[in-house]
């Protein structure tokens, strides 16, 4: 095999996610491309947990479709994940025999898996390690035995994980692993299967997640202050900062609430420091007033919103792409703020660095719309070359400009020199009230009109930047796909499959999702007769925003679902096939009566 998708589920405390992390760490070290997503119930303690691990000898773009291997330590917990862990006729099912379910009576409606193994996982764990807490280690042994997965590296990882607690615990887990491996060898698959060798040197790739990648990129971009409040699923951004920023002379302030978090970050920006905050949906709502202050005060600020299912508390542990309206429009008055969206763990670094550059260049708040899947999934990435990045800083006043400082001076590009406290001659009133060029309050309608025009004008160049869009395929193709965020990986795989089938389709994936780059979309749509905007939201928010700004062809429609209802590459491919056939149908001539 060159590609394998494994799904596991159990109760809290079963170590399912820990098993997935051990597996992906070992596979990454050996040189495989790998991706791991994890999902939990929303309970504070206990409840169900699951993970999906996809391993491949080629780059993977998404967590994959139907499972090749399904592991259920508890059927009630497994079934709670529904479409997140889809079992098909090609799936090998491994489950805890203690559940008492017969292999020919699995609670999988409408599916007959390829093979089924009822394994005494708990008993093997007790036999090997003296405790059923080692069930996850037995599972690793089963996978290594049946599929030839990273045996040496898994054992190395177990030793590294448990050695601090003593050799006895290491030996116990090694024994549990070996018993799982032995069981697999004694009960072979009907058709032996094993992963192909990865073909690269061990240790040549990195393994990380989107939240850590975003925080690392912010530090690389020169961020010196983080103000925030913990909220699922963005908390790891603050935790990373709290571990690392002190090494670079920066600071973290965990505040009493979301409003104070963004207020502190904006204050640090006013003081001349690159700064950021992070949150999720409910927190973004609370931060909207100060985001408006950042816009009118023209201060750089980066806000990371790790989207989850909404509205309100919604689905706090599930991924969704339903905060786009809030990111683009959640401010009173006429506000235009850039919104960027990474599509993978790897490009989260690039998008975050770009967000800081845009914030500094245009003196504006910038929102990064990550989501739970990208933010918390583990993914193998190639080492980052820092030499390919340019780091920008805000425009500060020259000595001549400080002799008669006008903070909001009208300039050709709309960007005015920005001072900070302590800069001789650079004092100004930084407030949320409308102002003249010197930052003095005004109630003049004429000045208000001019200042609105200034704030919009400065962002016009951003909407013409083609490097913020990935466009692929025949420029004259009649079929089109548009997708953003984590779901773009699904769409990319469907696009590649469609091209291999001979479908004439093109693809657009934006990093810049707002403001709408009208010229770029008009050019893209010029040849299009049919297509889909693929999104993980009920309304199809990007599709609706695009229709507000450009003439979307009548044959282009939204393909969208709410969070926790995954869209698979095969779903998108099926729609493209149907659309292609429809385009080939002759036009119906309606007779006209005399």
pLDDT digits (tens, 9 = 90+) for 93-140: 999 999 999 999 999 999 999 999 999 999 999 999 998 889 999 999
pLDDT at residue 44 in the model = 65
Q: In 203-344, where does DSSP find H-type helix? A: 210-220, 235-244, 258-270, 281-297, 324-329
Is residue 14 pLDDT above 90, yes or no?
Answer: no
pLDDT at residue 168 in the model = 93
**Tens of pLDDT along 157-181?**
999 999 999 999 999 999 999 999 9
465-584, which class in CATH? alpha beta
Task: Evaluate whether 534 touches 508 at the Cβ level (below 8 Å).
Answer: no
**Host H or E run for residue 558:** strand 556-560
Q: What angle do CA 204, 207, 210 make, to 5 degrees?
A: 140
Stretch 184-212: mean pLDDT, rounded?
90
Task: Indicate if 465-584 has the same CATH topology as 3-186.
Answer: no
Answer whether CATH 3.40.50.2000 is correct for domain 3-186: no
Q: Select from 392, 394, 388, 391 the least CA-distant residue to 407.
A: 394
pTM of the model: 0.94
Phi/psi for 9 (5° steps) reads -150, 150
Q: Select from 18, 20, 17, 49 the least CA-distant residue to 34.
A: 20
**Tens of pLDDT along 421-449?**
999 999 999 899 999 999 999 999 999 99
Q: CA–CA separation, 252 vs 339, rounded Å?
A: 24
Helix axes 167-186, 135-147, angle to 10 degrees: 40
207-388, which class in CATH? alpha beta
pLDDT at residue 42 in the model = 74
Stretch 503-530: mean pLDDT, rounded?
98
Give the start-to-end residue ranges of the domains of the chain. 3-186, 207-388, 395-463, 465-584
Stretch 31-55: mean pLDDT, rounded?
86
CA distances from 561 to 31, 321, 322 (A): 34, 10, 10
How many CA atoms lie within 13 Å of 508's alpha carbon, on the beta-carbon side?
Answer: 26
């Amino acid at each position: 095999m060159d590609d394998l998708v494994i799904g596991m589920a159990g109760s809290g405390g079963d170590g399912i996610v820990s098993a997935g992390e051990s597996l992906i760490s070992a596979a990454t070290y050996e040189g495989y491309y790998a991706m791991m997503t994890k999902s939990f119930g929303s309970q504070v303690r206990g409840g169900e947990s699951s993970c999906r691990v996809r391993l491949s000898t080629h780059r993977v773009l998404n967590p994959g479709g139907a499972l090749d291997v399904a592991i259920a330590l508890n059927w009630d917990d497994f079934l709670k994940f529904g479409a997140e862990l889809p079992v098909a006729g090609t799936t090998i099912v491994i489950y805890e025999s203690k559940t008492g379910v017969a292999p020919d009576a699995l609670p999988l409606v409408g599916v007959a898996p390829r093979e089924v193994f009822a394994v005494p996982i708990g008993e093997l764990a007790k036999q090997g390690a003296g405790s059923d807490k080692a069930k996850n280690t037995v599972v690793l042994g089963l996978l290594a035995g049946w599929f030839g997965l990273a045996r040496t590296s898994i054992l190395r990882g177990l030793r590294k994980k448990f050695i601090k607690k003593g050799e006895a615990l290491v030996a116990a887990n090694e024994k549990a692993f070996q018993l799982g491996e032995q069981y697999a060898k004694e009960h072979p698959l009907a058709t032996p299967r094993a992963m192909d060798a990865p073909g690269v040197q061990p240790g040549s790739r990195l393994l990380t997640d989107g939240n850590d990648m975003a925080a690392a990129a912010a530090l690389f971009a020169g961020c010196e202050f983080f103000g925030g409040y913990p909220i699922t699923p963005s908390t790891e951004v603050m935790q990373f900062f709290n571990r690392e920023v002190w090494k670079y002379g920066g600071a973290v302030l965990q505040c009493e609430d979301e409003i104070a978090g963004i207020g502190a970050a904006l204050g640090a920006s006013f003081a001349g420091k690159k700064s950021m905050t992070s949150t999720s949906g409910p927190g973004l709502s609370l931060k909207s007033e100060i985001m408006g202050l950042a816009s009118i005060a023209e201060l750089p600020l980066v806000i990371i919103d790790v989207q989850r299912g909404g509205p309100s508390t919604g689905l706090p542990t599930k991924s969704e792409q339903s905060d786009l309206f809030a990111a683009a429009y959640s401010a009173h008055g006429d506000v235009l703020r850039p919104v960027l969206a990474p599509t993978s763990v790897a490009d989260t670094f690039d998008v975050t660095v770009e967000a800081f550059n845009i914030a500094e260049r245009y003196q504006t708040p910038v929102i990064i719309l990550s989501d739970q899947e990208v933010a918390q999934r583990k993914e193998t990435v190639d080492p980052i070359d820092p030499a390919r990045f340019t780091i920008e800083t805000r425009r500060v006043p020259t000595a001549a400009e400080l002799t008669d400082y006008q903070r909001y001076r009208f300039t050709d590009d709309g960007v005015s020199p920005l001072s900070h406290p302590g800069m001789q001659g650079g004092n100004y009133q930084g407030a949320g009230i409308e102002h003249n060029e010197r930052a003095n309050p005004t109630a003049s309608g004429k000045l208000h009109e001019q200042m609105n025009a200034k704030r919009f004008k400065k962002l016009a160049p951003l909407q013409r930047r083609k490097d913020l869009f990935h466009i692929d395929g025949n420029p004259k193709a009649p079929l089109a796909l548009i997708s953003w965020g984590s779901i773009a990986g699904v769409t990319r795989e469907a696009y590649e499959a469609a091209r291999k089938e001979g479908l004439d389709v093109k693809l657009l994936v934006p990093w810049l999702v707002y403001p709408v780059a009208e010229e770029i979309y008009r050019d893209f749509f010029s040849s299009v007769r049919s297509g889909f905007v693929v999104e993980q939201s009920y309304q199809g928010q990007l599709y609706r925003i695009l229709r507000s700004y450009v003439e979307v062809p009548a044959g282009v429609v939204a393909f969208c679902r709410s969070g926790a209802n995954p869209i698979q590459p095969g779903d998108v491919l099926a729609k493209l096939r149907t659309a292609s056939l429809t385009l080939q149908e002759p036009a119906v001539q309606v007779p006209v009566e005399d």
